[in-house]
Structure 1
């Protein structure tokens, strides 16, 4: 049975900061941000958007009535959860009006969460071929103003429908996964910002890639020449390139140029959004599929997922005939074009707007937020979500 990605959607907030201007404000050369880490714009979530609303808005654009009826499993990968008990998936299930006879759960392992969700979805479809699974990867990356990680912040979500006989990409059966208990990036329950050992995390990202790639080659017999492209989890767009460069000497110059060229295409969306943790790998895949018009059906795409702490996985997908007909390229183009740039001072003010943590209620103004699904406030310790289409 063929199982894979039948639909894929994306959402990012309507606000962004220009990285050149942020660099000037922080007293560093703009090239440090635009070339050194490879970021042009950073998406900024207003207080009316959180991981739930971002995911719901991403899913809203791709679901039809058949999907709403057949989806019987919602798996939400995030490290920006809004409740320590109730899953973000349950909120999204209600906001989208999905089949009530469904499982809805949240999974967590840093940036690896959405990949874990996909593997869970594959198992479910194998047992229940007529089912569909909604997989969500949604996060808001926050490190704080004037911190070393500030330039790698971002916000957004990717939604995917996993099913049999997928119309976009079949996920192949062979994969290699690796786990090691390390402290390269983590966020204790008492902190709203992450802790990171940047140099160590970069080293582990590359080491994990080298290990899973080596094991994958031994397991399958496939080589770099067998791949049209490799997409990476992108905490910033230069990170994946650092890993790719460590294995390029395994192949010919022609294959090297193909992989490097497709890598650059796969980073374009991420360059303009920033880090979205669990969704970053799949935003990179979406960028490749929608912006590279030369990809042919049958092309094999490698996928490297990494979640600090740490879990890494290498797996693959093969493009289906007419896959391009099932992408939302124009909608995503309009999403990017419709965003509004904010000044650095406006960004700093918005960043510091936070929800109360003392149990008090608050009502938020959602009239300035163009998103269909928004957070309207907190009442009696309960988040108040609004779907403007209802």
Structure 2
């Protein structure tokens, strides 16, 4: 039985910051951001968007009423959780109007959370082939103003509907993974910004890739030549390329050229949104599917997932007949075009806005936020959401 991605959608805030302007304001060469790390724009979430609303808006774009009745599990991968107890999946379940006889949980392992959710969903569908699982990867990447990680911030969510006989990609059984207790990136419960040892994290990202890739080759007897493309978790768009380059000498030059071009296409969306942690790999996959003209049914796509701390996994999927009909490139292009550019000072003001932690009653207007689902305020220590 084939199990995999039946539908995929994403959502990003309507505000963005031009990385050239951020570089100039911070006194660095713009090429350090646009070429050095490969970022052009950074999605900036207004106070009316959090990880719950981003995920709900991403899912609302792809689910129909039949899906809402068939879904009996919601898995929310995030490292930007809003509650130590209640899962964000429960909030999204209610906002989307899903049928009540469902499980709803939140998973955490840095940027690996959504991948863990997909693998868990596959097991559930294997036992319940008539059901569907909604997997969400939603995050707001925050490192602080004027910090080394500031240029790799971002915000957004990817929603994936996992089912039997999927319309887009069947996920293959073969998978290799690796865990090691390291401190390359972390965010203590008392902090709303992340801490990162940038050089060490880059080194570990590549090291974990090589470990799981070599294990995958040994397990499957496959090589780079068997893949139409390889998608990577992208904390910034140059990171995956650094890892890919370490193994390109395994194939001939024409295959190297092909894989590098497909990689470039897989970074188009991430380049204009920034890091979205758990959703990053799947935004890369979506970017590839919607921007490459060379993919056909039966193509094998490699997937490298990495979550600091750290867990890495390499797995693969096979594109299904008619997969391109399930994509929404026109809608996504329109979303990009309608975004509003803000100045560095406006970005800083938004960044410094805080959700109260003392129980204060707070209300925010959502008139300027075009999203269907928004955060409108805080009351009795509870977040209040609106479906327009």
Q: TM tier, shorter chain?
A: over 0.9
For 2:203, what is the secondary structure of its paired residue?
helix
1:183 and 2:187 correspond: no
What does residue 313 of structure 2 align with?
313
Q: Distance in 1 between matches of 2:231 and 2:130?
A: 29
For 1:172, what is the secondary structure of its paired residue?
strand
What does residue 215 of structure 1 align with?
215
Shift in Å at residue 293 of structure 1? 1.7
Q: Distance in 1 between matches of 2:362 and 2:176?
A: 46
Q: Distance in 2 between matches of 1:169 and 1:187?
A: 33
Q: Distance in 2 between matches of 1:19 and 1:109?
A: 28
What does residue 195 of structure 1 align with?
195
For 2:173, what is the secondary structure of its paired residue?
coil
For 1:54, what is the secondary structure of its paired residue?
helix
What does residue 243 of structure 2 align with?
243
> What is the 5 A alignment of 1:62-77?
62-77=62-77
Q: Render the CA deviation track for 1:84-113: whole Å, top value 9, x for unaligned.
A: 000000000000000100000000000000
Shift in Å at residue 283 of structure 1? 0.2
Shift in Å at residue 354 of structure 1? 1.0
Shift in Å at residue 329 of structure 1? 1.0
Q: Render the CA deviation track for 1:150-191: whole Å, top value 9, x for unaligned.
A: 000000000000000000000000000100000000001111
What does residue 55 of structure 1 align with?
55
1:103 and 2:93 correspond: no
Relative to the length of structure 1, the TM-score reads 0.99
Q: Distance in 2 between matches of 1:344 and 1:199?
A: 27
Q: Distance in 2 between matches of 1:3 and 1:285?
A: 17
What does residue 230 of structure 1 align with?
230
Q: Distance in 1 between matches of 2:188 and 2:344?
A: 29
What does residue 262 of structure 1 align with?
262
For 2:295, what is the secondary structure of its paired residue?
coil
Shift in Å at residue 294 of structure 1? 1.7
Q: Distance in 2 between matches of 1:327 and 1:160?
A: 12
Shift in Å at residue 243 of structure 1? 0.1
What does residue 41 of structure 1 align with?
41
For 1:174, what is the secondary structure of its paired residue?
strand
Shift in Å at residue 203 of structure 1? 0.3
Runs of at least 4 residues of structure 1 off by over 3 A? none
What does residue 276 of structure 1 align with?
276
For 1:312, what is the secondary structure of its paired residue?
strand
Shift in Å at residue 194 of structure 1? 0.7
For 1:6, what is the secondary structure of its paired residue?
strand
What does residue 288 of structure 1 align with?
288
What does residue 348 of structure 1 align with?
348
Shift in Å at residue 311 of structure 1? 0.2
Q: Distance in 1 between matches of 2:257 and 2:78?
A: 34
For 1:249, what is the secondary structure of its paired residue?
helix
What does residue 11 of structure 1 align with?
11
Shift in Å at residue 128 of structure 1? 0.3
What does residue 369 of structure 1 align with?
369
1:252 and 2:252 correspond: yes
Q: Distance in 2 between matches of 1:295 and 1:142?
A: 35
Q: Distance in 2 between matches of 1:320 and 1:207?
A: 32
Q: Render the CA deviation track for 1:267-319: whole Å, top value 9, x for unaligned.
A: 00000000000000000000000011221111100000000000000000000
Q: Distance in 2 between matches of 1:103 and 1:171?
A: 22
What does residue 159 of structure 1 align with?
159
Q: Distance in 2 between matches of 1:314 and 1:294?
A: 23
For 1:175, what is the secondary structure of its paired residue?
strand
Q: Render the CA deviation track for 1:120-148: whole Å, top value 9, x for unaligned.
A: 00000000000000000000000111110
What does residue 146 of structure 2 align with?
146
1:174 and 2:185 correspond: no
Q: Distance in 1 between matches of 2:286 and 2:311?
A: 22
Relative to the length of structure 2, the TM-score reads 1.00
Shift in Å at residue 359 of structure 1? 1.6
What does residue 28 of structure 2 align with?
28
Gaps (5+ residues) in structure 2? none
Q: Distance in 2 between matches of 1:38 and 1:156?
A: 18
